[in-house]
């Protein structure tokens, strides 16, 4: 917030609190709407961020979402301290999921999360290894 | 940066005035409006503010859902409808009853009974909106089969939903089913049918929509098609109810005309799920009530791929219970549901399901002529740099507000007030808590100024600062010497004891002294004759060191300010 023409938002992703799941992305969505970002950009940002947030919530046991909004691009950084991803390229495949049956029953864990994030962002970097949690950085061009 | 001094500019007054004058389905009865917070709190798009003691609708935000008509406890919000008197304007009049009308009369035997009654009260003929609904159902089936439309398809029969999507969910505009609502379809067909039948010009045929719904007035005036709507007049259920009820009483079974044509599919449309079933989609969900609709669209908007995979059709209805729960209905929505079950039973319908959709109607005629546009009401400024600045101001202001969403400022929530402030449509002092803080600040300043003496009046000791507990001229002015001196920490206990002993008959003072004790601010003492000491602002503190939280909160209002001004 300190910088002119930019906005920084930090939202905690709280473990096991289903009522608050999705709050981070809906806050970012609201902010982008007020800034007048094009609806098509808002759509892909909120879809990608929602997926990342839900991943951190389900697999990562909670974490933090950091969003930086600039006039021409948006950077979203989400970190969790969960079990990490063993094989990132396998996790990137559509339909691949390690979610429990219970989570699937709730309509999550269909194995579309990472592919959706990749598809909706202009740049995505994942940093993860078993036991070290996961950090995802997504960049979106909003010009 | 706080914008404390942000007078409401005349341009904004004009804007609010303009939105008041612009067309709406909802009208305000200014005499009945008390300026309370019921409607502002319940508006799903935060489109209402109270200004100058009256509710004002921000035009571009209003989706015509009629929620404010329902929630206004003073009946000040009324639907804009037409009068039955306008029947005289036309050579031939046709009533278009919304199917929900069939659910309003306990005494009605059949749909024909009600339709006959409509003719008895003066209409030349009747055309069921339920018939239009069947054409729309047919068109929906065709459209979804032949066209690539984004799934899930969102129904558009409820006009409030279309406007909701335009205002709140621009990225779902492509999911909207681009077909006219049943009433529009019925109006077009009726106009054509009766103009051919009578040989009159279409302008001489008056199409009267008998409606449970306020939002339909909006489609009448701004239809999603190139030409003017075929609906000429809109009559509310409530306005026609008594007339129709007595006509219904007077019609014996053998006088019922055989008018009803729609099958049960068309008649069940106003029930949630009716449209989906008639459209033949298997994977559908029907959502009623505007807040539930907002929630479901929110979910689809951010999460279309996982939770809603495979969902074909979302039927959205702004009113709880669908059109049977419309704001202009007479019967309770659940009573209406019971009556409706009878009315749509197969033996009550001349045609069976699927028989009616007339082959001569080309469903392409029902397509929208134009796509609804995004109405960016939430955007703070067209200039993004400006928007960034406003947003950061808004957060700062929002953080400074009490966050209790009391509505006394005329905005539905503290954040809404913060937004109004950065938009220049409100000022920070509209918040009663902020105003109080400001008044307190002024009080402190006044007190300090009071202690400053012109040089000609200063005495030799030169002690003039009342904040330090001056024992000089200031004391006699207020006649509360002890109170003033009470600020002087070292002396205060003694002083208080003195004060209490000195004038035990003064019950006000004793009370206040007790109050002071109970607050645990023993250093303070209160002055004589200060009735005001009962109030929280008068602990006699002027913000010195060693003060408690209470002192900080109330310290600004030193009791001295409230001493009897006659002494001056």
Q: What residues of A are in contact with residue B381 (Cβ under 8 Å)?
A: 36
Q: What is the mean pLDDT of residues B279-297?
A: 90
Q: Is B164 a member of any domain?
A: yes
- Answer with the residue of higher pLDDT: B297 or B219: B297
Number of H helices, E strands in chain A: 5, 5
DSSP A130-143: TTS-EEEEEEEE--
Q: What is the mean pLDDT of residues B373-397?
A: 92
- B109 burial class (0-12, 13-18, 19+ CB within 10 angstroms)? middle
Distance from CA of B369 to the nearest CA of A (A): 23
Q: Is B372 a member of any domain?
A: no
Q: How far apart are the first and last CA of chain B?
A: 40
Same-domain status, B73 and B92: no
Band of the pLDDT at B4, cuts 50, 70, 90? Answer: very low
Q: Give the domain range for residue B418.
A: 10-80+383-430
Instruction: Measure the CA–CA gap between B83 and B142, rounded to whole angstroms.
Output: 38
* Whether A26 and B302 lie within 8 Å, measured CB to CB: yes
Q: Per-residue pLDDT for B511 more than 50?
A: no
Q: What is the pLDDT of residues A127-139, one digit of tens each?
A: 998 988 999 999 9
Listed range (B256-265, B377-386, B532-541) with the worst mean pLDDT? B532-541
**How high is the pLDDT of residue B501?**
47
pLDDT in tens, chain A (143 residues): 445 788 999 999 998 888 888 889 989 999 999 999 999 999 999 989 998 998 888 888 889 999 999 999 999 999 998 888 888 888 888 778 777 777 776 666 666 678 889 999 999 999 998 988 999 999 999 98
Band of the pLDDT at B520, cuts 50, 70, 90? Answer: very low
Closest CA in chain A for residue B166? A39
Q: What is the mean pLDDT of residues B292-306?
A: 81
Closest CA in chain A for residue B419? A34
Same-domain status, B62 and B167: no
Q: Per-residue pLDDT for B314 more than 90?
A: yes
Q: What is the mean pLDDT of residues B434-451?
A: 90
Interface residue B298 vs chain A (CB under 8 A): yes
Same-domain status, B144 and B193: yes
Listed range (A54-63, B29-38, B305-314, B410-419) with the worst mean pLDDT? B305-314
Q: Per-residue pLDDT for B226 more than 90?
A: no
CA B421 to chain centre: 19
CATH code: domain of residue B395:
3.30.70.20
Same-domain status, B156 and B207: yes
**How high is the pLDDT of residue B219?**
64
Q: Per-residue pLDDT for B537 more than 60?
A: no
**How high is the pLDDT of residue B18?**
42
**How high is the pLDDT of residue B316?**
96
Per the CB < 8 A criterion, the answer to whether B260 and B118 are in contact is no
Listed range (B45-59, B152-166, B209-223, B404-418) with the worst mean pLDDT? B209-223
CA B534 to chain centre: 40
Closest CA in chain A for residue B373? A39
* Whether A47 and B302 lie within 8 Å, measured CB to CB: yes
Same-domain status, B76 and B89: no
Distance from CA of B85 to the nearest CA of A (A): 46
Per the CB < 8 A criterion, the answer to whether B497 and B515 are in contact is no
Q: Per-residue pLDDT for B14 more than 50?
A: no
Per the CB < 8 A criterion, the answer to whether B54 and B33 are in contact is yes
Same-domain status, B182 and B298: yes
- Answer with the residue of higher pLDDT: B19 or A81: A81
Same-domain status, B39 and B158: no
Same-domain status, B328 and B471: no
- Answer with the residue of higher pLDDT: B300 or A32: A32
* Whether A1 and B304 lie within 8 Å, measured CB to CB: no
Same-domain status, B389 and B283: no
DSSP B149-205: -PSSEE--SSHHHHHHHHHH-GGGGGGB--B--HHHHHHHHHHHHHHHHH---GGGE
Q: What residues of B are in contact with residue A26 (Cβ under 8 Å)?
A: 298, 302
Tokens 């997926």 sit on residue: A51
Band of the pLDDT at B49, cuts 50, 70, 90? Answer: very high
Rg (chain B; Cα; Å): 34
Pick among B304, B381, B384, B386 to test the A interface (most A CBs inside 10 A)? B384
Among chain A, residues having any CB pair with chain B shorter than 8 Å are: 1, 4-7, 22, 25-26, 29-31, 33-36, 39-40, 42-43, 46-47, 50-51, 71, 107-108, 110, 112-113, 116
Listed range (A89-103, B348-362, B367-381, B420-434) with the worst mean pLDDT? B348-362
Model ipTM value: 0.83
* Whether B382 and A36 lie within 8 Å, measured CB to CB: yes
* Whether B379 and A34 lie within 8 Å, measured CB to CB: yes
In three-state secondary structure terms, B178 is coil
Q: What is the mean pLDDT of residues B107-129?
A: 94
User: Peptide bond preceding B231: is omega within 30 degrees of 0, i.e. cis?
Assistant: no
* Whether A5 and B388 lie within 8 Å, measured CB to CB: yes
Total structural domains within chain B: 3
Q: Which two tokens stand for residue B75?
A: 């009946």
In three-state secondary structure terms, A105 is helix
Same-domain status, B165 and B311: yes
Q: Is B349 a member of any domain?
A: yes
* Whether A34 and B378 lie within 8 Å, measured CB to CB: yes
Of A22, A33, A116, which is closest to B378 when you measure between CB atoms? A33
- Cα four-point dihedral sign A130, A131, A135, A136: positive
Q: Per-residue pLDDT for B533 more than 60?
A: no
- B224 burial class (0-12, 13-18, 19+ CB within 10 angstroms)? buried
Q: Is B546 a member of any domain?
A: yes
Report the phi/psi class of residue B205: left, alpha or beta, with left for phi > 0 and alpha for psi in -120 to 50: beta
Q: Per-residue pLDDT for B542 more than 70?
A: no
Q: What is the pLDDT of residues B246-259, one digit of tens each?
A: 999 999 999 999 88
Q: What is the mean pLDDT of residues B353-358?
A: 60
Interface residue B382 vs chain A (CB under 8 A): yes
Q: What residues of A are in contact with residue B422 (Cβ under 8 Å)?
A: none
Q: Is B92 a member of any domain?
A: yes
* Whether B306 and A7 lie within 8 Å, measured CB to CB: no
Tokens 């429990």 sit on residue: A100
Domains with residue ranges and CATH for chain A:
7-141 (3.30.565.10)
Listed range (A105-114, B24-33, B452-461, B475-484) with the worst mean pLDDT? B475-484
Closest CA in chain B for residue A30? B378
Q: Is B101 a member of any domain?
A: yes
Q: Is B1 a member of any domain?
A: no
Same-domain status, B278 and B316: yes
Q: Per-residue pLDDT for B417 more than 90?
A: yes
Q: Is B370 a member of any domain?
A: no
Q: Per-residue pLDDT for B263 more than 50?
A: yes
Same-domain status, B243 and B283: yes
Distance from CA of A89 to the nearest CA of B (A): 21
Max avg pLDDT among B412-416, B471-475, B500-504: B412-416
- Cα four-point dihedral sign B550, B552, B554, B559: positive
Strand partners, A126: A136
């Amino acid at each position: 917030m300190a910088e002119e023409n930019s906005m920084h938002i930090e939202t905690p992703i709280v473990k096991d609190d289903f009522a608050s799941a999705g709050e981070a992305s809906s806050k970012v969505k609201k902010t982008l709407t007020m800034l007048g970002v094009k609806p098509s950009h808002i759509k892909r940002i909120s879809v990608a961020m929602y997926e990342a947030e839900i991943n951190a919530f389900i697999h990562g046991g909670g974490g933090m979402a950091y969003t930086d909004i600039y006039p021409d691009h948006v950077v979203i950084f989400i970190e969790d301290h969960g079990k990490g991803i063993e094989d990132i390229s396998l996790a990137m495949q559509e339909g691949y999921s390690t979610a429990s049956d219970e989570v699937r029953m709730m309509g999550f864990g269909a194995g579309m999360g990472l592919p959706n994030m990749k598809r909706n962002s202009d740049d995505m970097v994942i940093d993860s290894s078993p036991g070290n949690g996961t950090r995802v950085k997504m960049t979106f061009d909003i010009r | 940066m706080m914008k404390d001094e942000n007078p409401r500019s005349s341009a904004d007054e004009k804007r609010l005035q303009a939105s008041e004058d612009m067309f709406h389905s909802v009208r305000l009865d200014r005499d009945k409006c008390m300026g309370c917070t019921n409607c502002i709190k319940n508006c799903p798009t935060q489109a209402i503010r109270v200004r100058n003691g009256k509710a004002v609708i921000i035009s571009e935000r209003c989706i015509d859902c009629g929620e404010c008509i329902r929630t206004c406890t003073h009946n000040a919000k009324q639907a804009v409808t037409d009068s039955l008197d306008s029947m005289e304007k036309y050579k031939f009049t046709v009533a278009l009853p919304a199917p929900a009308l069939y659910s309003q009369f306990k005494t009605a035997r059949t749909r024909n009974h009600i339709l006959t009654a409509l003719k008895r009260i003066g209409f030349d003929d009747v055309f069921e909106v339920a018939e239009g609904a069947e054409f729309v159902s047919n068109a929906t089936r065709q459209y979804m089969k032949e066209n690539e439309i984004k799934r899930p398809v969102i129904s558009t029969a409820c006009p409030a939903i279309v406007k909701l999507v335009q205002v709140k969910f621009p990225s779902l505009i492509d999911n909207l089913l681009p077909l006219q609502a049943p009433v529009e379809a019925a109006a077009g067909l009726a106009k054509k049918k009766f103009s051919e039948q009578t040989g009159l010009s279409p302008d001489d045929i008056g199409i009267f929509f008998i409606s449970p719904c306020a939002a339909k007035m909006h489609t009448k005036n701004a239809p999603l098609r190139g030409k003017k709507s075929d609906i000429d007049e809109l009559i509310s259920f409530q306005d026609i109810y008594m007339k129709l009820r007595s006509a219904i009483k007077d019609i014996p079974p053998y006088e019922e005309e055989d008018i009803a044509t729609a099958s049960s599919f068309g008649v069940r449309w106003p029930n949630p799920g009716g449209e989906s079933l008639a459209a033949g989609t298997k994977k559908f969900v029907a959502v009623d009530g505007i807040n539930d609709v907002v929630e479901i669209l929110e979910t689809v908007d951010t999460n279309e791929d996982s939770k809603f995979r495979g969902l074909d059709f979302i039927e959205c209805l702004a009113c709880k219970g669908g059109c049977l729960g419309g704001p202009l209905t007479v019967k309770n929505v659940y009573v209406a549901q019971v009556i409706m079950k009878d009315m749509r039973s197969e033996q009550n319908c001349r045609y069976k399901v699927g028989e009616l959709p007339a082959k001569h109607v080309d469903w392409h005629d029902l397509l929208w002529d134009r796509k609804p546009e995004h109405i960016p009401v939430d955007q703070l400024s067209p200039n993004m740099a400006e928007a960034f600045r406003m947003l950061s101001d808004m957060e700062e202001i929002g953080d400074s507000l009490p966050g209790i969403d009391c509505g006394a400022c005329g905005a539905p929530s503290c954040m809404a007030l913060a937004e109004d402030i950065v938009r220049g449509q409100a000022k920070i002092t509209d918040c009663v808590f902020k105003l109080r803080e400001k008044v307190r600040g002024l009080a402190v300043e006044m007190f300090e100024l009071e202690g400053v003496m012109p040089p000609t009046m200063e005495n030799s000791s030169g002690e003039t600062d009342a904040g330090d507990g001056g024992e000089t001229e200031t004391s006699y002015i207020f006649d509360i010497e002890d109170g003033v001196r009470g600020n002087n920490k070292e002396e205060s206990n003694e002083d208080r004891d003195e004060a209490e002993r000195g004038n035990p008959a003064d019950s006000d003072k004793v009370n206040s002294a007790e109050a002071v004790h109970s607050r645990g601010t023993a250093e303070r003492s209160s002055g004589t004759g200060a009735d005001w000491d009962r109030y929280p602002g008068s602990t006699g503190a002027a913000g010195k060191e060693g003060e408690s939280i209470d002192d900080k909160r109330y310290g600004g209002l030193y009791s001295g300010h409230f001493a009897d001004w006659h002494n001056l």
